Structure 1
């Protein structure tokens, strides 16, 4: 557990979210009631769906043809698949993305709920939902993801998380987009649950770690150099 938390506390995204989480927690405590509790639960569930949608439709989208946007996607996710044990690549390169996403979501929720709840309650709902519920769920996601990739002693929980997530990395990168423990039902809901026979039919040893791309694709070669990574299989 300690090695996992050591990686988490150095994650730029979580560091930048921490003040917002604390502020949201204060708001939750000062305004404790049914609205705040509903907002908290909603924020947690919302984040688990956001986790799935971002992973499947943003990070696993068709690779850009232009090198610059490809490099950005490589830093955000492809590099993590090619070098799954590099802690620096556990998360994307933009440490402010989660903050910008969260602030934008709070504003959006406030505007949408203003007419129904009034300005203050709408803002309270958005802040508690996103900054407490969603940030807490996001931190849990980062914990599960980091634990799955670290070579540390693992109990039942750690082994289960690792088994589920590494299927996505090493068996079938088009399934098991959930990472957070217990969220496999989201994959089954959207038809991307892990199926052994389907995974076996789709499996390609040479491309499974580069998300179906030829490992010698010039875009991959260029991106590795741009981010200071070695050629695949050359070690580190």
Structure 2
């Protein structure tokens, strides 16, 4: 637990969300109303789905053919698959993305809630849901993800999280897109739960670490050089 916390307290995305989370926590503590519990629960569920959808449809989208957008995808996720224990690749390099995403979601919720609840109540509902509920769930996601990748002694919880997430990295990158502990139901809901039979059928030792791409693909080689990496990752047995 402690090694994972040491990593996530330095994550830029969490730093940028923290002041907004603190304001939301203040609202909950000093102006508590029962609806806030429902708002927090809603925000948590929204983040669970965001986690899955972003991982599956943005990070695992078809790799761009143009080098510049490919480099961005490499830095945000492909590099993490090639070097899964490198802390530099635990998160992408755009540390403002979580805050921009939360701000956009806040604006969208305000457009829906303002006519129904009035400006100030709509703002409080959206703030508590997104900057307390969703942001807290996002921090827990980062903790689970970091714990899964750290090579440290782990208890039962850590072994469980690691076993589930490593199936995505080392057995079948087409499945198991959830990371947060206990969220396997989302993969089952969308038909991407881990299947040992499908994993064996799809498994390709040479391309597993590069999520299906030839590890000598020029785009990969160029992206590695752009980020100071001189060689392809070590293949797994």
**What is the 5 A alignment of 1:1-236?**
1-233=1-233
**Separation in 2 of the partners of 1:124 and 1:224?**
44
Q: What is the CA-CA distance between 1:35 and the residue it aligns to?
A: 2.0
Q: Deviations over 1:172-220 (max 9, x none)?
A: 0010000000000000000000000000000000001101000000000
Q: Deviations over 1:109-154 (max 9, x none)?
A: 1111111111111111110111000010000000000000001110
**Separation in 2 of the partners of 1:172 and 1:187?**
13
Q: Which runs of 4+ in 1 moved over 6 A?
A: none
Aligned residues: 235
**Separation in 2 of the partners of 1:132 and 1:33?**
14
**Separation in 1 of the partners of 2:141 and 2:155?**
17
Gaps of 5+ in 1: none
Deviates further, 166-175 or 24-33: 24-33
**Separation in 1 of the partners of 2:40 and 2:234?**
46
**Separation in 2 of the partners of 1:78 and 1:162?**
19
Q: Could you state the TM-score of these two structures normalised by the residue count of structure 1?
A: 0.97
Deviates further, 71-80 or 114-123: 114-123
**Separation in 1 of the partners of 2:202 and 2:98?**
33
Q: Tell me the SS of whatever aligns to 1:210.
A: coil
Q: Could you state the TM-score of these two structures normalised by the residue count of structure 2?
A: 0.97
Q: What is the CA-CA distance between 1:24 and the residue it aligns to?
A: 1.0
Contact 2:144 2:161 in 1 (8 A): yes
RMSD of aligned alpha carbons: 1.1
Deviates further, 55-64 or 4-13: 4-13
Gaps of 5+ in 2: none
Q: What is the CA-CA distance between 1:234 and the residue it aligns to?
A: 6.3
